[in-house]
Amino acid sequence: MLLRTFLREVNGISKKSLADIKFKGGKILVNQKEVTVRTTIFSGDRVEVYVPPEPKNESLRPECISLDIHYEDDHLLVINKPHGMPTIPSREHPSRTLANAVMGYYESHHIPFTFHAVNRLDRDTSGLLVVAKHGLAHDQLSKGQRAGKLKRYYLALAEGYVQPREGTIHAPIKRRPSSIIERMVAADGQEAITHYKVINTNQAYSEVEINLETGRTHQIRVHFAHLGHPLLGDDLYGGSIELLARQALHCQRVELIHPFTGKYLHFSAPLPKDLIEVKDKLIK
């Protein structure tokens, strides 16, 4: 088999990723000898792919900020993000973001890559997210996420008595024309699918476990507001801020198939203190 065929069709490495490896400082070895992708390989050959170092993003300033890292290897990080921290910089929040913190971590540990978020969390959503260390890992993890090999499970506190107690919200989402931030359910929006199960409830509030099939901006918040059950603390979508000043949403579990080893990995992060305190008050 041609090495190019093995890398692209068997291992799913994109044409762009192969070009980056070839022209930006990476290399490919077969049996410890550097080769081109036109080489023919045989059963028993050892193929090694070395990804190139990545240039620093000059607009992303490294900052020394503590990170709660739940997993790390040569290809990815799984990080428990606190609420109040944006994932990436914006005009309103140019610093103190997860991206700044990761770049500071890379700089202090001499890791020659830039920031690649596989999934993002809103600024006031807490919990686990996956960061790829290099472009090839990002490409593979993103493909895996679309194929259902990377799953995210959230816990939310929604207002009201959510019924039915288990179901799927299949409602397309788009940006509200009058806002650069707010999203809405609309027939001409992007497909958005949210699976949920109520695990505890009373007449006023429901504790809900959620599994995302798609990952649209504000998807969970928009979908539950659309049902008439906005998340507690989510004033953007009609939730009360009397007991909580941020949306009651936490990514508590991540499961994935490692794109290079094929191993099943799973991680969990307990509810932060503010959500535990509110939950204990509301749902007995």
List, by residue number, the catalytic residues: 122
Pairing mode of beta strands 249-257, 126-132: parallel
Spatial distance between the Cα atoms of 127 and 155, rounded to a whole number of angstroms: 10
Q: Taking the chain, what is the end-to-end CA distance rounded to the nearest angstrom?
A: 62
CB 150, CB 130: distance < 8 Å: yes
Which tokens go with 76?
């990815």
Dihedral (CA of 148, 268, 250, 124) sign: negative
Residue closest to 167 by CA, chosen among 196, 187, 200: 196
Spatial distance between the Cα atoms of 250 and 83, rounded to a whole number of angstroms: 9
Question: In a 10 Å sphere around its CB, with 0-12 CB exposed, 13-18 middle and 19+ buried, how is residue 37 labelled?
Answer: middle
